[in-house]
Amino acid sequence: MRNALFFALSLFYCLNLTAQTGAPGYDITCWTNGNTASDLESVPVKFARGKVNALTPFELTFSENVPEAAEASIRFAADIWSSYLQSNVPVRVNIDWRDQGDENLLASAGPSTIYRAFAGSIDNDVWYPVALAEAIFGEDLNDTDEADINVVVNSTANWNFDTEGTVPRNRIDLATVALHELGHGLGFLSSIDSTSDTTVSIGFDDRFIIYDLFLETPPGRSLTDSTLFTSPSKELLAAVIERLDFAGENAVRENGGELVPLFAPQTFDVGSSVSHLDERTFRTGTTNALMTPSIANGEAVRDPGPITLGILEDLGWPLRYDISATQPVIAGRLGIYPNPARSSFTLPLEEVLSPSVAVLYAMDGREVRRLDVSRQRVAAQFDVTGLPPGLYTLYVPDGNRAFSARVMVR
C-alpha cells in the first residue's frame, strides 16, 4: 500500500538535482498490546499544562469529527515536542478521527511528503520527512496550506483525554499516543517495506530515508551498505528479523554507549518493524518507552525520553535538551547575514537590550565558539573560519531572555 501510493505519485517529480525534490510520504501504524501497565509510579511526568516553553510552532488542523477534549490532549503533546525542537518553520499537522475497524489499532501517522536535495541535507540522494527537511532548510518547502504530518486516530479506542491526573487502568492515554505519532511524523521512521513473504526492500526510488542510514545489524553491518545488502532481498529480511540496532552517535550516547535495539520481531511486521524501539528493552513505565510499538492500558509517557531525542538529533533535528530553563527564547529575530556563512557573519544587535556575549553551539549541543559583544551596540562580526560545514545554533542572552538563530556554515 505504501509503495503503491508512492509510485502512483512519484511521476510528479523530476531528476533535477539543483532544486529540492519532493515525493509523497507514508504512515507507520501503532497498536495497543492489550496489557495493563502495572508500575506507573516510575513514569516521569515532566510536563504540566502552562509550564512548557514552546520553541517550534506547531499548527494543528483538526477534522470536524475530532472531539474537543481530544484536541486539548493532542495540543498538549504537540507542546511537548515544541519545547524540544528548535526550528523557526512551523510544523503543520492534520489530525483525523475515524473508525479504523479494529480497536487495538490506535493510530497511524507519517510525513505527508518527503524531500531530498535541499540546502543542508547531508546528501542529495537521501530523503527527509518534510518537517525535518524544513527545519534544516530554514524555510517551508511544501505549500503553506499543506500539512507536514498526517495523523489518523482511531475513534473507537477507549481513550483517556485528561492530561493532568493518572490514566485509568482500562483506558489508553491520548496525549501519549499523540506524542508517539508526532514522533513518527518528525522522522522516526524507516523506509523498509515488505515486498514478498521472503524479501523486504529499503529505500524509495533507490534512495534511503535519513533514518535508514543509522540501521545496523551485528556485527556492525550497515543496512545501507550495498556491498552487503541488495534491495529487495532475503538477506535484508534476515537482518530486520534478528537483532537490529540504531547506531547514531547521539542515540548511542544517550543509551550509555550501547547501540539502541529496535523492534525487529521474528515475523516482519509491515508498518511497525524497524520504525519503533524494542519493546523488551524499553519496558512500559521506563524513561525511553515512548517509541516502542505498542502502548498498554493505563500507560502514560509524557516525554520523548533521551534516546528518542538522541535519534532525532542524529537525523538532523536542531534540539534543545535542557527544557527546564525558564528563560524565554526568541528565535529567528536577529537577522544574521550572510546565512549560509563562509568565513564570518554579521550579527545585528539592535534588538538586544544588553548585549554581553554570543555563543555558537554545534548540533550536538557542544559550544564551539563565543564572542564578547558587550562593547558593540549596532552589530558584531562573528568569525566562523575553521569550523566544519554544517548547521549551528547561535545564542545571544539578553537579561532574562535570549535570542537564538540557526547559522549554516559552508
- φ and ψ at residue 37, rounded to 5 degrees: -65, 135
Stretches 7-15, 30-38, 73-81, 378-386: which one binds Zn ion (CB under 5 A)? 30-38
Nearest distance in Å: CB 393, Zn ion: 29
Q: How far is CA 311 from CA 19, 241, 272, in A?
A: 27, 21, 17
Identify whether the C-beta of residue 145 lies closer than 8 Å to the C-beta of residue 89: no
404 SS3 class: strand
Comparing CB distances to Zn ion, the nearer of 210 and 352 is: 210
Task: Name the strand (E) or helix (H) holding 41.
Answer: none
Triad 69, 71, 75: Cα angle to 5° = 125
CB 383 within 8 A of CB 368: no
Nearest-approach distance from CB 252 to Zn ion, in angstroms: 21
The set of residues, in sequence order, having a beta carbon less than 8 Å from that of 258 and lying 6+ positions away, is 252
For 14, how many CA atoms within 13 A lie in the half-sphere containing its CB?
3
Q: Which alpha helices (H) appear in 85-216, and where do they start and end? A: 130-137, 174-186
Pick one of 23, 26, 30, 129: the residue that binds Zn ion (CB under 5 A). Answer: 30
* Cβ proximity to Zn ion, 70 vs 295, nearer residue: 295
Residue nearest to Zn ion (CB): 30
Instruction: Decide: 76 and 46 in contact? Cβ < 8 Å.
Output: no
Q: Which is nearer to Zn ion, 30 or 264 (CB)?
A: 30
Which residues lie below 8 Å from residue 84, measured CB to CB, with a gap of 6+?
A: 55, 304, 309, 319, 320, 321, 323
By rule CB under 5 A, what count of residues binds Zn ion? 1
Q: For the CA atoms of the chain, what is the radius of gyration?
A: 21
Stretch that binds Zn ion, among 23-31, 33-41, 65-73, 233-241 (CB under 5 A): 23-31
Closer of 75 and 276 to Zn ion (Cβ): 276
Question: Looking up cell 559583544, which residue turns up?
Answer: 373
Question: Which lies closer to Zn ion via its Cβ, residue 30 or residue 241?
Answer: 30
d(CA 304, CA 176): 9
Separation between Cα atoms, residue 26 and residue 56, nearest integer Å: 23
Stretch that binds Zn ion, among 27-35, 255-263, 281-289, 334-342 (CB under 5 A): 27-35
Query: CB within 8 A of 211, min separation 6: which ones?
Result: 187, 188, 189, 190, 191, 275, 311, 315
**Binders of Zn ion among 239-268, rule CB under 5 A?**
none
> Minimum CB separation from Zn ion for residue 333, in Å?
36
Q: Are 203 and 191 in contact (CB under 8 A)?
A: yes
Residue 299 C-beta: closest distance to Zn ion, Å: 13
Q: Which is nearer to Zn ion, 56 or 275 (CB)?
A: 275
Q: How far is the CB of 190 from Zn ion (least distance, A)?
A: 12
- Per-position x/- string for 341-380, each x denoting binding to Zn ion as judged by CB under 5 A, each - no binding: ----------------------------------------
Minimum distance, C-beta of residue 28 to Zn ion, in the bound complex (Å): 5
- Taking the complex as a whole, the smallest distance from the CB of residue 290 to Zn ion amounts, in Å, to 9
Give me the least distance between CB of 391 and Zn ion, in Å please: 27
* Beta carbon nearer to Zn ion, 149 or 380: 149
Answer left, alpha or beta for residue 170, where phi above 0 means left and psi between -120 and 50 means alpha.
Answer: alpha
88 or 275, CB closer to Zn ion? 275
CB of 273 to Zn ion, least distance (A): 11
**Which range, of 25-33, 255-263, 304-312, 334-342, touches Zn ion by CB under 5 A?**
25-33
The piece of 24-32, 163-171, 262-270, 353-361 that touches Zn ion (CB under 5 A) is 24-32
Task: Please state the closest distance from residue 220 (CB atom) to Zn ion, in A.
Answer: 27
| Closest to Zn ion by CB, 167 or 177 | 177
Minimal distance in Å, beta carbon 406 to Zn ion? Answer: 29
Contact, 269 vs 105, CB < 8 A? no
Any contact of residue 215 with Zn ion (CB under 5 A)?
no
Binding footprint of Zn ion on the chain (CB under 5 A): 30
